[in-house]
Amino acid sequence: MRFQTPLVPARLLRRYKRFLADMRLDDGREVTAHCANPGSMLGLAEEGEKCWLEPNDDPKKKLKYGWRLVDHENGHFTGVDTSVPNRALRAALAAGEVPELAQYGQVQAEVKYGAKSRVDFLLTDRSHKDLYLEVKSVTLSRAPGLGEFPDSVTARGTRHLQDLAAMVAQGQRAMMLYLVQRTDCRRMRLADDIDPAYAQAYGQARSAGVEVLCYDTRISPDGIWLGKRLPVEE
């Protein structure tokens, strides 16, 4: 998935109100960028970090920049926009780039299910059970090579696990797919110290038959693409 507009480099001044970040562009101008990430962004929102912003000229948008990447300046990047995984995965599914899901011919997004949820993707095929697929963006890394989820307490994420387990009980398939939006991770695990309730719900969902899949991403200021499968430590 290529970014629609060429990204521009900047330095982070501060992130506040979760969805706002003040940045300094290379020409010295200070701008406010939209931060499409409701999480804590632990380890990714330090003053002075190099970032990449996507400009826009949409008159309907109040902010003219969107924060897309953190550049770790060691050859690695982290994608901070939590809407990107769904778009990148949808493109990969359409191209048949996810071998574990290639048997499904139809993909629908944002389908109502559960008590009050919308599943990220519903995959269907006449020869297979329906597959309810939730996608989570992994950006936290507190140890070399290790991605962790979540980076803050997520009651919504816990509910999604419960909803997936309910679909398995109804005779369908259900899967949680963790997309690691970092280029420096080789494996993934739950951050159970950050959200014990999520970890408990994860264990219950796995016991109920919810499947888990994890992929990394290839990231550059040009775009973000699905990478290779990563192991999940349980």
Q: What is the pLDDT tens value at each position of the chain, 234 positions in all? A: 899 999 999 999 999 998 999 999 999 999 999 999 999 999 999 999 999 999 998 888 889 999 999 999 999 999 999 998 899 999 999 888 999 999 998 999 999 987 778 999 999 998 999 999 999 999 999 999 999 999 999 999 999 999 999 999 999 999 999 999 999 999 999 999 999 999 999 999 999 999 999 999 999 999 999 999 999 998
CA gap 150, 46 in Å, rounded: 19
**SS3 for 34-71, per residue?**
ECCCCCCCCCCCCCCCEEEEEECCCCCCCCCEEEEEEE
Structure-token pair, residue 178: 């963790």
CA gap 53, 33 in Å, rounded: 8
CA gap 144, 177 in Å, rounded: 22
- Domains in the chain: ranges and CATH: 8-79 (2.40.50.580), 84-233 (3.40.1350.60)
